[in-house]
Amino acid sequence: MQTLLNDVDTHVDSFLDDLKTALRIPSISSDPAHQPDMTRMADLLSTKLHELGFDKVQTISTKGHPAVFGEWCDQPDKPTVLIYGHYDVQPVDPVDLWTAPPFEPEVRGDKLYARGAVDDKGQVYIHLAAVASWFKSGEKPPLNIKFIIEGEEEVGSVNFKELVTEHKDLLGADYVLISDTPMLKKGLPSIAYGLRGLAYLQIDLVGSKSDLHSGSFGGVVANPINVLTKMLASLKDDKGRVTIPGFYDDAVEISAAEHDGLSKLPFDEIEFADAIGAPALTGEAGFTRLEQLWARPTLDINGIWGGFQGPGAKTVIPAEAHAKLSMRLVPNQDWQKITKQVLAHLIAITPESVEISITPMHGGRGYLAGIDSPAIQAAKAALAEGFGTEAVLTREGGSIPIVPMLAEVLNAEVLLVGFGLPDQNAHAPDENLDLENFHKGIRSLVILYQNLSELKPI
Ligand code: BES
Ligand code: MN
Ligand code: MN
């Protein structure tokens, strides 16, 4: 093992160069203009898997962007891990706020900056580097490894879900390993045992067939922006609770044991608020910040637009108002059921002076796993060795829609071992990957594959 880890140290710069090559491809899944880049990125990954010595390497097409698969299954009596990740990235706007162009990866200080640096190309490449290290050692990996890297995670994995059901035998594994989450803080390796789910929709209100002079009409017609803001404001009460009937019915409650566990984690509210420039934090009354963040559902307006936004003043009653709304969900809340409840509630509170249309966009279930499986122990030991610090068990507020499905369809245990950091700026300008995490992440995974190989196949 020591030789292997020394090899990681020797090759870490070339592993980083590989990652930079991937980061130069603007694989933004939501933007049809980047379709060719999605193909280029999938090709790059399949070439990489070929080079590493993987078999059955294939680009599996979907109704949307393709996913890339490869396997190396030469250890018949050993367990199989499926490594899942995503090669698609979020859009880069507002691009002016980036220090350097988002698709020209740049090392500044101890971080690598680029869109996708941490979410999720950087973390996919940590696995590719760990696997490469095993091959370079001449020893070959100690267990069977499959990769599935999709291109639609950032847009809800809608088509990928079909792929998973269709190809469940090809993807079959004992463990699913995913690096697409942050650590609780720098130097503190983390294993996430839960994720929140999501339901996302768009609301459009129309009050008249075109904009109106507010002097000639103001006072007698509904202003869709006034109506929409009032409706949206009513969706949460002043205790931070969502007011949609039935919203909390199925939500899994936080057990006393979990409350205790989460309370022991190092979380500094002031530091957290300062890092994001927030004057203070706020959330649902009766819960700790980490509970609010990880284990309680919530509702947010993600965007709102309409009316006059040019320079100066314009006396107008806008014809339309629009908003994007999403809810973070917790395990057991069914996103389709929640979507129906929101739809019914919004329709019920819409006054007859405007017309509403609601477009559900996507969603996914939350995820919650046990915390004392042999695989979690294996991950703890690997991270402790790789980082020199005991790992903590966390949940996460973000969503990876395919996770509950992978666990269910493949009947496999999912391990979320991520190497991001709270200040990684995922989805924002100056997204970055901590270079120490890149290096220690590779070392940890090299050890993790070994530790998992010693477990019984499930
Ligand atoms: N890597 C994130 C998920 C994540 C974010 C985990 C923060 C833990 C903390 C993933 O790429 C992501 O952004 N997911 C989306 C899913 C959505 C588009 C369906 C999310 O959470 O908004
Ligand atoms: Mn991600
Ligand atoms: Mn993301």
Instruction: Look at the alpha carbons of 430, 435, 437, 439 in this order and tell me if their dihedral is positive or negative.
Output: positive
The total number of residues shown for the chain amounts to: 458
- For residue 458, pLDDT over 80 is answered with no
Q: What six digits make up the tokens of 458?
A: 């499930």
Contacts (Cβ under 8 Å, ≥6 apart) of 276: none
Q: Concatenate the DSSP letters of all residues of 366-400 into one string.
A: -EE--S--HHHHHHHHHHHHHHSS--EEEE-SS--
Phi, psi of 258 (to 5 degrees): -70, -40
180, 196, 324: residue to mutate for ligand 1 pocket, most atoms within 8 A of CB? 180
pLDDT per residue as tens digits for the range 233-292: 999 999 999 999 999 999 999 999 999 999 999 999 999 999 889 999 999 999 999 999
pLDDT per residue as tens digits for the range 128-159: 999 999 998 888 999 999 999 999 999 999 99
Atom of ligand 1 nearest to the CA of 86: 11
Section 164-168 average pLDDT = 98
- For residue 456, pLDDT over 90 is answered with no
Classify residue 457 by its DSSP letter. P
Q: Which residues line ligand 1 (CB under 6 A)?
A: 119-120, 153-154, 156, 180-182, 198, 362, 364, 396-401
Section 76-80 average pLDDT = 96
> Measured at the alpha carbon of residue 331, what is the angle toward residues 299 and 356, in degrees to the nearest 5?
35
Q: What's the pLDDT score for residue 358?
A: 98
pLDDT per residue as tens digits for the range 193-219: 999 999 999 999 999 999 999 999 999
> Closest Cα to atom 15, ligand 1: which residue?
399
Q: SS3 for 242? A: strand
Beta bridge partners of 67: 60
pLDDT per residue as tens digits for the range 297-313: 999 999 999 999 999 99
Kindly state the percentage of the chain with pLDDT values over 70: 100
Is the CB of residue 22 less than 8 Å from the CB of residue 125?
yes
Q: What's the pLDDT score for residue 457?
A: 79
Residues 4 and 447: their CA atoms lie apart, in Å, by 9
Residues 228 and 216: their CA atoms lie apart, in Å, by 22
Q: What six digits make up the tokens of 200?
A: 């996302």
Q: What's the pLDDT score for residue 249?
A: 98
Q: What six digits make up the tokens of 100?
A: 């350097």
* Ligand 3: centre distance to CA 37 (Å): 18
| Ligand in closest contact with the CA of 402 | 1
Residues 37 and 29: their CA atoms lie apart, in Å, by 9
Residues 147 and 168: their CA atoms lie apart, in Å, by 13
| Ligand in closest contact with the CA of 152 | 1
Q: SS3 for 39? A: helix
The H-or-E segment that residue 42 falls in is helix 35-52
> Measured at the alpha carbon of residue 22, what is the angle toward residues 19 and 27, in degrees to the nearest 5?
140
C-alpha pair distances (Å), 325 with each of 85, 232, 343: 26, 9, 11
* Ligand 1: centre distance to CA 400 (Å): 5
Helix axes 121-136, 435-453, angle to 10 degrees: 60
Beta bridge partners of 271: none
Q: What's the pLDDT score for residue 302?
A: 96
Atom of ligand 1 nearest to the CA of 180: 1
Residues 223 and 290: their CA atoms lie apart, in Å, by 39
Nearest C-alpha neighbor of 144 from the set 78, 96, 215, 87:
78
pLDDT per residue as tens digits for the range 80-102: 999 999 999 999 999 999 999 99
* Ligand 3: centre distance to CA 397 (Å): 12
- For residue 35, pLDDT over 90 is answered with yes
Section 395-414 average pLDDT = 97
Residues 284 and 278: their CA atoms lie apart, in Å, by 17
Section 117-131 average pLDDT = 98
Q: What six digits make up the tokens of 2?
A: 């020591």
Q: What six digits make up the tokens of 218?
A: 């103001």
* Ligand 1: centre distance to CA 260 (Å): 26
Q: What's the pLDDT score for residue 310?
A: 97
Q: Concatenate the DSSP letters of all residues of 267-319 into one string.
A: --HHHHHHHHT-S-----TTS-HHHHHHTS-EEEEEEEE-S--SSS---EE-S
Mean pLDDT, the chain, rounded, equals 97
* 126: Cα within 13 Å, side-chain hemisphere: 37
**Can you tell me which residue has the tokens 């530091």?**
271
